Structure 1
Amino acid sequence: MTNEATSMDSLAVAERVRSLMSRHGIGKRQQTTELCRILDLSFSQGHRKLRGSSPWTLAQIRKVAEAFGEPPMQLIGAELDDAGVAGAQAHEAQLCVGAFEWPCIAWIGAPLDARSSAEFAAYAHGDHWRIVRCDGMPEANAREVVKIEIHPKRCEPRRMAVAVVDSDGTAADALRTYLEQHGFATTVLDSLPAFVDALRTQTFDAIVTDWSFGEETAAAAIEAVRRSGKADAPVFLLTGDLLTGKASEAEISEVIRRFDVACYEKPARLAILVADLSKRLGRG
């Protein structure tokens, strides 16, 4: 494939670019100005491009398509891409297989009739095209499909889920905000019963919990984590009561030994806590 289109191709590309701009609400009188803005051209250069008297590079075609969020192949067309699809035009379509549908680019050719043989057929539905397997005789208004391109969507990585268990709403919200800024999905629970209930239906990659909840401690809840389906989830224990003597150092030490828990004094230094959390989860 050469980088420069031929003069005949330039006419076809220019026509597709004008059609694309019209579809996106750019009037004929504004199209040259818009093209000059996208490609950083002078007005005379842009005018020649849209008339088809100036060759198009593939880089320019891609840049125009990307500016309008459309696939470059729709502007390149069959003439520049594949001799096997000569005469067909590229269209955005839905490939339908059973109950499933995928967005695709389909090169749609001539109408099919009762004597035609094709593996796939295209049917126009308003402004859209549906592509289906052609089993037997094609239905009325069917058109031949000579090429299909499927572009799967890229899935974003799953955000690791962290439970924050704390009856202090201000502290919990501050930690949640910091965790979410660093890419974690955070669930705040303000009581131990709420957390234990959540363990029955939710899976957490890590837990950050306060130690004291009135007269109750988090010991039983931490044990519940170690008996859950995510028994190896890192647990971070926060407490501000060791220095005041309200929390039992011996009891916390026992929980740390039995259940492999990390312990931080409140108020926790969030950067250090999240760095430790990320390292234990294999993120850094």
Structure 2
Amino acid sequence: MRNATSIAEFVMSASTPTTSNTAPPSLAAQCVSALLDRHAVPRRKHAAIVTEVLGLSYSQGHRRLTTDATWTLEELGTLAEYYGESLSDMVSLGRSEAMLGAMLKIGSTLVPCRFARGPAVHKPRPNALVATLIDSDWYVVPATSELATQAYDIVRMVIEPSSALSRRIAVLDDHADSAATIAGYLKSAGYDPTPFTDLRSITAAAEGRSFDGYVLDWILEKDGTRNTVHDLVASIRSRDTHCPIVVLTGEVQTGVADETDIATAMARYRLKFFEKPARLPIISAALAASFAA
């Protein structure tokens, strides 16, 4: 694993301009692109994600990904942490296996997990843990001679909190990319997320089915009109006094979001609040802690 010095040297060398008239993307930019690819972010959305997570202008984010523009160690670390990876994993340029969401099945017990898939194996060792795809879902199971589907070696496996098992989470953000990114991470952590992009659809869904928790953007904008999720939160609490509700916003510093309103709602409705760009592992941990409590 790279130490801090070698990683810093890597970033500096990756950001050194070339003498070409059209400098190619730096090695740091290639690492960031590989990170986003591993997390299923469409290439056309890479600059938008970098812009949002790092608080840059769109042109700054685009230049970092497409030219030899300089990246700082802190920026790379922030992006890695946002997707739950270490900086060393990130600068591997994707040579290490991506982690896949799965269920560890031992007898009748199911536990959420993530694993790095190795090569296919045709005669696995008896009782060794292998990964197999069953009805489009990954399972980690003890190898047996009766295993009917292709088995794969497991390079690495991470057990997720058991509280995530089958928990239904509603995710609301008026930016579809952000809603999909949060939902995608929660799914990899073992939750059952449903993304929404407007108040009307999530309000109808919340009244029609029972969600176990919510991750909500505090301010939503549609057709030039801004609204908060205050009324939605009040409605949720009237039906469920215990479910975790996580509220996010990046508009406190801009003054668009009223700190007093948020603080009052936190005290009245027992909300968990994080400023954007919120770290996905922290959101997942906040949900897990609420369920455990």
TMscore range, shorter length: 0.3 to 0.5
The answer to which structure, 1 or 2, has the higher relative contact order (CA under 8 A, 6+ apart) is: 2
- TM-score, normalised to structure 1, is 0.44
